[in-house]
């Protein structure tokens, strides 16, 4: 008899807990405002007029001096990370700075540029990252360990 009361109490508790539980979400999403709109014109490579290229040649980064102190390097990295999170022109500027800096610390930013939506940013990042291909910094620091000549006696 006690078993029936225990089973009934357990059934009553499970029904009340399921009743107070969360309601299931809808299977179909009706709001499309949450999706990001992709501007298809940004996927097309546009050549710039000659006067814009001349303006870019005389910009502040044409005579780019790489940072010398650790604080300057850190500030430039933060500035570039801010640029990479902005619009397409700012991301292109970040790729130009990374191209002119030629430091290994800009590789993560260049890798982000390779996955960008804008084709100009991808092309600039690919040309900037090309100089780092095939060069490994770890091979210079590795020292070859030679075994002693009588290694067979040691084992």
> pLDDT of 119-150, one tens digit each?
999 999 999 999 888 766 555 556 667 766 77
Q: Is residue 6 part of a domain?
A: no
Q: Is residue 35 part of a domain?
A: no
Q: Is residue 143 part of a domain?
A: no
Q: Is residue 87 part of a domain?
A: yes
Domain total of the chain: 1
Token digits of residue 36: 């990001």
pLDDT, the chain, mean: 75
Find the helix packing angle between 70-84 and 107-114, rounded to 10°.
10
- pTM of this prediction? 0.50
pLDDT-derived band at 102, boundaries 50, 70, 90: confident
Residue 83's domain spans which residues? Answer: 69-133
Q: Is residue 129 part of a domain?
A: yes
Q: Which residue has the higher pLDDT, 136 or 109?
A: 109
- Domain with residue 76: its CATH number is 1.25.10
What is the Cα–Cα distance from 75 to 90, expressed in whole angstroms? 16
Q: Is residue 8 part of a domain?
A: no
* 88 CB-contact burial (10 Å; exposed 0-12 / middle 13-18 / buried 19+): middle
Of the CA atoms within 13 Å of residue 14, those in its CB half-sphere come to 6
Q: Is residue 150 part of a domain?
A: no
Q: Is residue 19 part of a domain?
A: no
């Amino acid at each position: 008899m006690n078993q029936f009361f225990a089973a009934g109490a357990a059934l009553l508790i499970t029904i009340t807990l399921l009743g107070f539980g969360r309601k299931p979400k809808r299977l179909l999403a009706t709001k499309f405002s949450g999706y990001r709109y992709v501007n298809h014109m940004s996927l097309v490579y546009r050549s710039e007029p000659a006067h814009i290229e001349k303006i870019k040649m005389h910009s502040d980064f044409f005579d780019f001096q790489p940072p010398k102190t650790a604080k300057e390097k850190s500030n430039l990295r933060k500035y570039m990370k801010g640029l990479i999170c902005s619009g397409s022109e700012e991301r292109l500027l970040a790729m130009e700075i990374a191209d002119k800096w030629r430091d290994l610390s800009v590789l993560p930013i260049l890798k982000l540029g390779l996955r960008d939506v804008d084709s100009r940013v991808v092309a600039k990042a690919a040309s900037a990252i090309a100089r780092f291909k095939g060069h490994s910094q770890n091979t210079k620091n590795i020292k070859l360990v030679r075994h002693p000549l009588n290694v067979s006696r040691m084992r």
